[in-house]
Structure 1
Amino acid sequence: MQSVRARRRRGTAVRVGAVAGVAAGLFAVNILLGTYTVTIPDFLRIVGGAEIPGASFIVLENKLPRAVIGLLIGVAFGVSGAVFQTMLRNPLASPDIIGISYGASASAVTAIVLFGAAGVAVSLSALVGAMVVAAAIYLISRRGGVAGYRLILVGIGFAAVMHALVNFLITRTDLRTASEALLWLNGSLNSSNWDRVSVLLACLAVLVPAAAVLSRSLAGLELGDDAAAGLGVRVEASRLGLMATAVALAAVATAAAGPVASIAFLSGPIARRLLGNRPSLALAGLVGAVIVLGADFVAANLIPGTSLPVGVITGALGAPFLLWLLATAHRRGEGGG
């Protein structure tokens, strides 16, 4: 038994290391390649403090903060989605499907359309909106104890209401404001800067370790409430702590770059399949980073002279992945679960 566990741990470490290597490679690709290429020696000179006309500004004020934020929001969305999906035992239970991201979107669009907000104010509005909607979903679904299916259904209901509110606000405003709101709704790294990096990094320095500590109860919760309680897990307190942390991760990532579609939804199931149907928050976070960095490189270079929002690319991945997820679940006999 111990040898089996040791082999499993080694296999997990190898896969986590491999995905981390891919993430590091894509991070370098985003900085060195693209419409403006930078050689490795020049990059090292710039980071070391040398001033290279043109290149220094592009690397330090554009490419590097953009790549860092892409990496960080990928980790945040990936861990958040994996927590929800594991805790509620459903691959559809990700923040961008059960209404939390829609809450952030509705709040941000309200601030843009009704109050003319921009920059930090929009990010703060998104953060508050995600927290408020998550609290409302939890309170409504907790009657008689929070059941996974009930929370998902309530969340989908909230998502529909928030989506309708966003559409109403956009149709009632002028073209310029509507275009600003739509740009934010797509999720983009185009406005990345070091101020956002510092805030996001500070938040993740608290939230990621908190998720790691709280994840000790995930294995029990994945077995169901009764089994978890039998194993000594404080079900309601553990679920509330995990939900609060996962919501905060999704909220700060959304505040930094907008509601980048499908990252939270994609990362957890992909990480599970890499580990033979075992959950791993670390691997889910790295998978999220790989998806964001890869999608942003495509978005920035797909159309010459135009940098698309990264959410356009990641959103296009969501629908076929959902169909594949449903098809493979059906073949395994899980389609009706």
Structure 2
Amino acid sequence: MSTWIETDRGSVVVRTRGRVPVSGRIPVRGTLVCAGIVVLTLAVTLLALMLGSVVYSPAEVFTAVFGEAPRSVELFVVQWRLPRALAAAVFGALLGMAGGLFQGITRNPLGSPDIIGFTAGASAGGVAVVAFIGSGYFLVAGGALTGGLVVAALVMLLSRGGGVSGFRLVIVGIGLSAMLVSLESWFILTADLELAQVAALWSAGSLNGTSFTFTGPALVTGCLALVLVGALMSRRLTLLDLGDDMSASLGVPPERTRLMAMVSGVVLVAIVTAAAGPISFVALAAPHIGRRLAGASGTALGPATCAGSFILASADLLSQHAIPDHTLPVGVVTVAIGGLYLMTLLVRENRKGTL
């Protein structure tokens, strides 16, 4: 068996000759960007474990996580702070990948589950379950997934004729989002007072009170989903970027690929929404940031996933420590920052004539 490496337009092509030939292309800049973002995310996660009402040194944090530390240090770092820090990183990665999937299939800078309405559908389904049935993770996950899939079907039906990549899809999604927000408010107003308070807090998008008991299933499911969706969709979306005819000629049916990507994106959003509520604008911003940093012209799921992880981890750290003695829902921070980003994006794309 022999292996050799070639370079081609900023990529490293690895080929192995043997009984089972293997060939793969590794984008150098994209790989370095992902590695850099991962390092930054780890640094933010370390800060999240260090800071709080009691501040610990990096050495104390590492001892608590990987070794034996005093009971008080282990309580603060491992049991209270670590679940939230991990949830922020993993959920951000899920939202980043979901945004990359939707922008890849719509070929629209506003092609995000937040804008198209899938996040609102998952949120409305989750709120309905919390308000009228219960707040167990799998119950809420089922409601969020059902809501997201129903909205996806409605968006596809109502935007028929404009194509998945058409601007009509975005307009239909915005309209459905407005209707779903009203429906969600009605669910909260008609529910039992105690359940309504839980549903209202959940609908803001919050990582407060995160624990391995409740969030553990979401973290495990989310990590598996990242691996499976990434392995399944990366090559398909790369070929789809070449055009429908080229994609079909290479054995990747474009319509089936778009349907698979849409369902995958809804599942990723539902996993996050069920555990933390609707967290907006991460899925919109992460693909843009990842694509710019990586210098990619098409779909770049890896950089989008890493950027989403860093964005949500940073936003959650800010939500905990921006205002002394007050902890904000992370959704409030992402909406505040994401609103500014959305306005900037609209102005820039309008000047380019892509909207």
1:33 positional shift: 1.9
1:253 is aligned, of 251, 257, 272, to 272
Counterpart amino acid of residue 10 in structure 1: V
Which deviates more from structure 2 when the two are superposed, residues 274-283 or residues 25-34? 274-283
Contact 2:83 2:212 in 1 (8 A): yes
Query: Structure 2 CA distance, aligned partners of 1:227 and 1:125?
Result: 38
Q: Does 1:243 align with 2:262?
A: yes
Query: Structure 1 CA distance, aligned partners of 2:106 and 2:68?
Result: 51
Cα pair distance change 1:125/1:36, threshold 3 Å:
farther
Q: Which residue of 2 aligns with 1:234?
A: 253
1:297 is aligned, of 317, 332, 339, to 317
Query: Structure 2 CA distance, aligned partners of 1:283 and 1:35?
Result: 34
Q: Does 1:156 align with 2:174?
A: yes
1:168 positional shift: 2.3
Q: Which residue of 1 aligns with 2:236?
A: 217
Q: Does 1:12 align with 2:17?
A: no
Give the TM-score of the pair, scaled to structure 1: 0.89
1:157 positional shift: 3.0
Counterpart amino acid of residue 169 in structure 1: F
Post-superposition Cα deviations, 1:111-156, rounded to whole Å, max 9, x if no partner, equal 23334x2242334422332233324434554579645434333333
Alignment of 1:170-319 (within 5 A): 170-173=188-191, 176-212=194-230, 213-226=232-245, 228-278=247-297, 279-319=299-339
Query: Structure 1 CA distance, aligned partners of 2:243 and 2:317?
Result: 40
Q: How many residues align?
A: 334
Query: Structure 2 CA distance, aligned partners of 1:93 and 1:252?
Result: 19
Where structure 1 has 5 or more consecutive residues not aligned to the other structure, the ranges are none
Q: Which residue of 2 aligns with 1:118?
A: 135
Cα pair distance change 1:76/1:196, threshold 3 Å:
farther
Which deviates more from structure 2 when the two are superposed, residues 202-211 or residues 319-328? 202-211
Query: Structure 1 CA distance, aligned partners of 2:214 and 2:196?
Result: 24
Query: Structure 2 CA distance, aligned partners of 1:177 and 1:198?
Result: 23
Query: Structure 2 CA distance, aligned partners of 1:261 and 1:46?
Result: 33
2:348 is aligned, of 308, 324, 328, to 328
Cα pair distance change 1:6/1:124, threshold 3 Å:
closer
Query: Structure 1 CA distance, aligned partners of 2:292 and 2:343?
Result: 16
**SS of the counterpart of 1:35?**
coil
Query: Structure 2 CA distance, aligned partners of 1:52 and 1:301?
Result: 25
Q: Which residue of 2 aligns with 1:57?
A: 75
1:230 positional shift: 5.0
Counterpart amino acid of residue 314 in structure 2: G
Contact 2:107 2:165 in 1 (8 A): no
1:176 positional shift: 4.5
Contact 2:206 2:331 in 1 (8 A): yes
1:248 positional shift: 0.8
Contact 1:35 1:301 in 2 (8 A): no
1:43 positional shift: 2.2
1:210 positional shift: 2.8
Counterpart amino acid of residue 288 in structure 1: G
Query: Structure 2 CA distance, aligned partners of 1:151 and 1:144?
Result: 7
Counterpart amino acid of residue 266 in structure 1: A
Q: Does 1:131 align with 2:131?
A: no
Q: Supply the RMSD in Å over aligned alpha carbons.
A: 2.5
Query: Structure 2 CA distance, aligned partners of 1:155 and 1:254?
Result: 18
Counterpart amino acid of residue 131 in structure 1: L
1:288 positional shift: 0.7
Where structure 2 has 5 or more consecutive residues not aligned to the other structure, the ranges are 1-5, 13-25
Post-superposition Cα deviations, 1:190-241, rounded to whole Å, max 9, x if no partner, equal 1211134432233234322332222212134335434543554301111111
Query: Structure 1 CA distance, aligned partners of 2:242 and 2:72?
Result: 56
Q: Which residue of 2 aligns with 1:102?
A: 120
Q: Which residue of 1 aligns with 2:54?
A: 36
Counterpart amino acid of residue 262 in structure 2: M
Query: Structure 1 CA distance, aligned partners of 2:346 and 2:296?
Result: 15
Contact 2:91 2:222 in 1 (8 A): no
1:183 positional shift: 1.1
Post-superposition Cα deviations, 1:284-333, rounded to whole Å, max 9, x if no partner, equal 111111111111111111222221111111111111111211222234x2
% of aligned pairs identical? 35
Contact 1:78 1:286 in 2 (8 A): yes
